[in-house]
């Protein structure tokens, strides 16, 4: 006969988890071991079955045998600010890549977020603004929260800048970049975006120095932000510090050793874009200084130099195109492939524009590396087609297509070309309202073009 239920020699004192792990149990519910290991602590079940031989009926499955329910773990309460930060990481960062590179900046943000008040505030501001546009209920309150967090971020950033010697410049740089993104999302004029994202990040990149941008969080910021520095130089025809030798050397250093596997052809194209913008700015400045003067022999020599430099850059762009086509043969779905195609066409048009608009080239008799009109139109079609695909099928941010669409729009001749540009810019204005400024600018260009042709 088996031992009866009142015999205490078979009584179990350990919980189920400790018994299965052969650990000594404290006897409490929950016990110390389960609390430390994060396990559900269930009390032991006692066997009260009375089993009698010789065909007697057995008492089994008594109520005492049924397993007792484990105590429920109550979900942790999360405050609104934390939810906004989660929204920023899960929705905004995941859907707004600036480079198309594998991986993201999430790890960098996590590493510096806790110790940076301005960065945490602006992350909450963007998250709140994102929530306000995704939900109809409570959107007004979320918008108010976004503006409060934005104001707090600006105040915190000003305080951090005052003690910049003791603060992390990398954190300040990310805060400034994200403030520009917030203003791009909220402000229709584009003034705040220009002030923070373009000029602010430009200044902070210089404060970081090439050495500070060569590793760690500084390197990550440099790789994310330099596309905006190039955009600033191209849009406003202003020289960039990226053309200086220490910064040009940095473009090689950031891909050495363990980083070599992260390199893409788009990085090399951005290097060329810096040189193309610099040549265009220098050439345009020289031409403007000669508009009211007759052309001398020395002027012709200088124009010839500009044309030769342009020819060399055009050759480098063509070489890059062949290399990229071969490199991307095995990586056709990557986001940076779309960026490479769009920016290659945009930079090619921009480069040709250096020689297309002024009559000084024909007057001087200098042969220029400008594109044929048919080639320009082919690049316009490429920008439109590939941008449309990228906006549908990748997580690339609409922000990175503003400059290419602006360049393509200036060369768009027909309503069939201008209509898709307007549609794509309208789609970009949904998350980034400041894109309306680009639309307004293009509408003025098109209106002027129509009046000139009439």
335 and 390 Cβ atoms separated by less than 8 Å: yes
Q: Is the pLDDT of residue 420 over 60?
A: yes
* Structure confidence at residue 419 (pLDDT): 96
Residue with tokens 């994202």: 197
Q: Is the pLDDT of residue 48 over 60?
A: no
* Structure confidence at residue 321 (pLDDT): 96
Alpha helices in 394-434 (DSSP H): 402-411, 415-429
* Structure confidence at residue 101 (pLDDT): 76
pLDDT in tens, 128-185: 998 888 776 678 889 999 999 999 999 998 888 877 654 478 888 888 888 888 988 8
DSSP string, 142-211: HHHHHHHHHHHHHHHHHHHHHTTTTS-HHHHHHHHHHHHHHHHHH-SS-HHHIIIIIIIHHHHHHHHHHH
DSSP state of 97: B
- What 3-state DSSP class applies to 396? strand
DSSP state of 371: P
* Structure confidence at residue 114 (pLDDT): 72
In this structure, the number of other CB atoms found within 10 A of the CB of residue 126 comes to 28
pLDDT in tens, 221-232: 899 889 999 998
Preceding omega of 30 cis (within 30 degrees of 0): yes
CA dihedral 191→193→194→200, nearest 10 degrees, is: 130
Residue 175 CA to residue 172 CA, distance in Å, equals: 5
Average pLDDT over residues 413-425: 94
84 and 124 Cβ atoms separated by less than 8 Å: yes
What is the average pLDDT score of the chain?
83
102 vs 204, which has greater pLDDT? 204
377 and 411 Cβ atoms separated by less than 8 Å: yes
Residue 278 CA to residue 326 CA, distance in Å, equals: 28
Q: Is the pLDDT of residue 34 over 80?
A: no
* Structure confidence at residue 60 (pLDDT): 47
Q: Is the pLDDT of residue 428 over 90?
A: yes
The pLDDT-based confidence of 117 (bands split at 50, 70, 90) is: confident
Q: Is the pLDDT of residue 70 over 60?
A: no
pLDDT in tens, 300-358: 999 999 999 999 999 999 999 999 999 887 655 578 899 999 999 999 999 999 999 99
């Amino acid at each position: 006969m088996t031992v009866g239920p009142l015999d205490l020699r078979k009584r179990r004192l350990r919980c189920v988890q400790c018994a299965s792990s052969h650990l000594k149990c404290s006897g409490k519910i929950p016990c110390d071991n389960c609390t430390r290991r994060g396990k559900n602590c269930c009390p032991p079940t006692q066997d009260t079955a009375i089993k009698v031989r010789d065909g007697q009926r057995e008492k089994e499955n008594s109520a005492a045998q049924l397993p007792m329910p484990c105590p429920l773990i109550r979900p942790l309460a999360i405050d609104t600010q934390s939810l906004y930060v989660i929204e920023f990481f899960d929705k905004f960062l995941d859907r707004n890549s600036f480079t198309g590179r594998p991986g993201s900046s999430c790890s960098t943000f996590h590493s510096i977020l806790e110790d940076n008040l301005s960065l945490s505030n602006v992350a909450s501001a963007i998250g709140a603004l994102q929530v306000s546009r995704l939900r109809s209920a409570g959107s007004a309150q979320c918008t108010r929260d976004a503006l409060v967090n934005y104001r707090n971020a600006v105040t915190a950033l000003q305080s951090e800048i005052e003690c910049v010697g003791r603060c992390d410049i990398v954190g300040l740089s990310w805060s400034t970049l994200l403030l520009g993104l917030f203003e791009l999302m909220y402000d229709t004029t584009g003034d705040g975006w220009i002030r923070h994202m373009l000029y602010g990040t430009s200044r902070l990149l210089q404060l970081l120095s090439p050495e500070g941008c060569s590793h760690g969080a500084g390197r990550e910021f440099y790789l994310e932000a330099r596309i905006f520095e190039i955009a600033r130089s191209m849009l406003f025809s202003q020289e960039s510090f990226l053309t200086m030798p220490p910064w040009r050397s940095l473009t090689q250093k950031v891909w050495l050793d363990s980083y070599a596997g992260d390199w893409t052809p788009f990085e090399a194209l951005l290097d060329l874009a810096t040189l193309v913008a610099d040549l265009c700015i220098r050439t345009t400045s020289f031409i403007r200084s000669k508009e009211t003067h007759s052309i001398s022999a020395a002027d012709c020599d200088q124009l010839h130099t500009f044309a030769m430099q342009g020819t060399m850059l055009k050759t480098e762009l063509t070489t890059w195109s062949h290399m990229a086509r071969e490199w991307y043969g095995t990586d056709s779905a990557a986001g940076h492939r779309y960026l490479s195609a769009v920016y290659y066409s945009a930079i090619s048009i921009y480069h040709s524009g250096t020689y297309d608009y002024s009559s000084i080239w024909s007057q001087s008799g200098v042969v220029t590396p400008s594109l044929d009109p048919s080639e320009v139109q082919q690049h316009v079609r490429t920008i439109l087609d590939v941008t449309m695909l990228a906006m549908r099928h990748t997580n690339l941010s609409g922000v990175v297509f503003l400059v290419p669409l602006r360049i393509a729009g200036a060369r768009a001749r027909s309503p069939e070309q201008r209509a898709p540009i307007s549609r794509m810019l309208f789609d970009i204005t949904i998350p980034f309202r400041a894109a309306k400024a680009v639309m307004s600018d293009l509408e003025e260009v098109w209106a002027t073009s129509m009046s000139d042709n009439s």
